[in-house]
Amino acid sequence: MVPASCRVGIVGYGEVGRILAEDLRARGVAHGVAFLAAYDIKLGTAGEAPLREHASGQGVLLAASHAELAAGADLVLSAVTASQTVAVAEAVAPAIRKDTWFLDFNSASPGAKKKAAALIDGAGGRFVEGAVMTSVPPHRIRVPMLLGGVHAEAIKPLLDALGFAPTVASVQLGVASATKMCRSVMIKGLEAMVVESYVAARAYGVERFVLASLAETFPGIDWERQGTYFFQRVIQHGRRRSEEMVEAAATVREIGLEPWSAQGTAMRQAFMADLADAGALGDPRAPRDDWRLDADRVLAALSRND
């Protein structure tokens, strides 16, 4: 049962923030037992209309600033892009009330999480890192999530009551985020490699042979279907993935290893995001049926740049 005093504030009202708002509302938040509020840097800009429309439909209060959100919340959920992890903590810390929970969902390095934790804990709040271990939309609020930090065990009952599916990874801050980042080196790296390999194979007219060889080496994977899925994910979320991979590279660098693979992945994800932003890859939200169509769009964009 959600405590009657629990007031939830979400920083970042993008795809993840909106999903959390919808599911929290369905659990009873904002229906007398507590209230649900959100803040996003797009508020007050030309891009605020979809945020206000969604918030109005979900009964979510929109705060005017990080400080206003923090001052009225018992639990702050930070769900922004990776590059904003520390910046959000800096903005929230001066207004956070004593013992307010601060759950950081962001895909950031252990070093970034520790900086954010120092700001929140230093201001009297209780910082918990949350490492989301797979894509949010299919699982929604029940997405597998690892918790880390000295307050991880204490916050778990509240998160369980709110509908989350958390697992305490460690009371040591950084373990959960390191797990997430090391996984991202593989998963986002595989996406980038597939895009690069398939586009090049398409340009040389050898995709049939490349896919046949992959199927022989890794027979458990449908490389046609996987390729189409990877292209769609990178086209839709390349910018966010690029920022995450910058943090993954920082994670690798923090142990003294040069992150050549992670850096390359960040660059390839950003490259695809740039093409998508320029309109070169069609509607990013449109369903993808054949990776070849997207590969041809990439090749067409390259030819225009020659």
Query: Which amino acid is it at 27?
Result: R
Tokens of 303: 């030819």
147's tokens: 């918790």
User: Do 291 and 145 fall into the same domain?
Assistant: no
Please give the order of strands across the beta sheet that includes 75-78: 61-62, 36-39, 8-11, 75-78, 101-104, 126-132, 145-148, 166-170
Question: What percent of the chain stands above pLDDT 90?
Answer: 91
Same-domain status, 93 and 234: no
Q: Are 226 and 194 in contact (CB under 8 A)?
A: yes
CATH no. for residue 287?
A: 1.10.1040.10
Mean pLDDT of the chain: 94
pLDDT mean over 9-16: 95
Q: How far is Cα 73 from Cα 37, in angstroms, rounded to an integer?
A: 8
Residue with tokens 């910082």, as numbered in its chain: 127
Shared-domain flag, residues 184 and 278: yes
Confidence of residue 305 (pLDDT cuts 50, 70, 90): confident
Residue 300 inside a domain? The answer is yes
pLDDT in tens, 194-239: 999 999 999 999 999 999 999 999 999 999 999 999 999 999 999 9
Place of tokens 């189409």: 228
Mark whether 66 and 159 lie in a shared domain.
yes
128 and 184 co-located in one domain:
no
Q: How many domains does the chain contain in total?
A: 2
pTM: 0.88
Residue 32: what pLDDT? 47
CATH number at residue 168: 3.40.50.720
Q: Based on the domain organization, do 255 and 153 belong to the same domain?
A: no
How far is the CA of 14 from the CAs of 113, 186, 209, in angstroms? Answer: 21, 25, 40
pLDDT confidence of 18, banded at 50, 70, 90?
Answer: very high
Identify the domain boundary among 172, 202, 226: 172
Question: Which is more confidently placed, 33 or 255?
Answer: 255
- The verdict on 167 and 181 lying in the same domain is no
Domain termination site, one of 172, 190, 213: 172
What percentage of the chain reaches a pLDDT higher than 70?
A: 96
Ramachandran class of 279: left when φ > 0, alpha when ψ lies in -120 to 50, beta otherwise? left
Please tell me the distance from the alpha carbon of residue 243 to that of residue 266, in angstroms, as a whole number: 7
CA distance 59 to 140: 19
Based on the domain organization, do 166 and 189 belong to the same domain?
no
Domain that holds residue 29: 8-172
Give domain status of residue 2, yes or no: no
Residue 139, exposed/middle/buried by CB under 10 A (0-12, 13-18, 19+)? middle
- Whether 137 is in a domain gets the answer yes
In a domain, 86, yes or no: yes
With 80 as the cut, is the pLDDT of residue 28 above it? no
Residue 185 lies in a domain: yes
**What one-letter code names the amino acid at 64?**
A
Whether residue 144 sits in one domain with residue 192: no
**Same domain for 151 and 261:** no
